[in-house]
A and B are shown apart, each in its own frame.
Chain A
Amino acid sequence: MARAAHPHAMSPSRPGRTRTAPPQMPAQFPTSGRYFTYTLFGSTGILYLLCGFGALRAVWLLGSGRTAWEGLQRDYAQAPLILLHVVCLAAVIFVGVRFFRLFPKAQPAKIGPAKPPPRPILHAGLYAAWIVVSGGLALVMAGGIF
């Protein structure tokens, strides 16, 4: 029985003879030039974690009964939480726009015999999915359907 592959199995046992310059932090990192949006994109992770735990609290309170759910709705009506949700919504839209622009470029040219659709079609498809899923869910939650 073969053992599981070690993640570093293919790395050389000792450094090569070609000398390389030591890695250096780019001068503009992390908040200037093109690194600003990169850092901002990474920072949205904090808000996604917050949103996940916020949604967990909401669902937990929904399962705890009417009083807990109505208490949550009163909390959500306070200005600081509305502001936080607006900031989170802006972050989510920023992530969606950036990721959906990146996604078509990150596709392999070919997977076996299959080729991915042209980038504009893939891009449009992602936006269509976003509009359908978000719009559908928003309609359900807002009482428009069901």
Chain B
Amino acid sequence: MRHLLLKLEPVIWLLFGQGIMIGTMLLTAYLAVVGVAIPLGIVSPDALAYERALRLGSSLIGRVVLFALIALPMWKGAHHVRHLSLDMGGLSRDAVVAPILYGLALLGNLLALIAVVRLH
């Protein structure tokens, strides 16, 4: 398993880097508007009424943005939590922790793909 993780390291680093860079840019807007501004009434709930949200989300660009918004932060999260685990607990449990976290991110990415495909 360690051998496989070392071989996959460049791919995981690429996804982690994009998770920080693009994921941060997308999450800022998503959390500010969907998570805070609309629930607090700063922005009208009509902005993301069902018809409009579906129309935006089901366009090609909308699907790509939503997929990136879901998928990339998961890789950033998985890789950072893995390294937090390495810092706190050493290498001994990495053979279990790393596959669980990356597996979770991969599963999330597959579900994200299904979620954006079924928007219509």
Contacts and interface: CB of A to CB of B under 8 A. Distances in A.
B80 A45 contact: yes
Most A CB contacts (10 A, CB to CB) among B30, B38, B43, B87 go to B30
Interface string A96-123: 1001000100000000000000000000
B79 A99 contact: no
A136 B30 CA distance: 11
B111 A56 contact: yes
B118 A51 contact: no
B93 to A, nearest CB: 16
B21 interface: yes
B57 to A, nearest CB: 6
Q: How large is the interface on B (under 10, 10 to 19, 20 to 34, 35 or more residues)?
A: 35 or more
B31 A142 contact: no
B103 interface: no
A124 to B, nearest CB: 15
Nearest to B3: A7
Interface in B73-105: 73-74, 76-81, 83-84, 87-88, 104-105
Contacts of B64: none
B36 A86 contact: yes
Interface string A20-60: 00000000011000000001011111111111110110111
Contacts of A12: none
Query: Which of A44, A49, A59, A138 neighbours the largest number of chain B CB atoms within 10 Å of its CB?
Result: A59
A49 B28 contact: no
Task: Give 10 closest A-B pairs by Cβ, nearest first.
Answer: A45-B80, A85-B35, A49-B77, A143-B47, A48-B77, A137-B29, A52-B74, A7-B6, A42-B84, A138-B29
Interface of B: 3, 6-7, 19-40, 43-48, 50, 52-54, 56-57, 65-66, 69-74, 76-81, 83-84, 87-88, 104-105, 108, 111-112, 115-116, 118-120
10 contacts: A51-B73, A53-B108, A56-B70, A59-B66, A66-B50, A76-B34, A89-B28, A129-B25, A137-B29, A143-B44
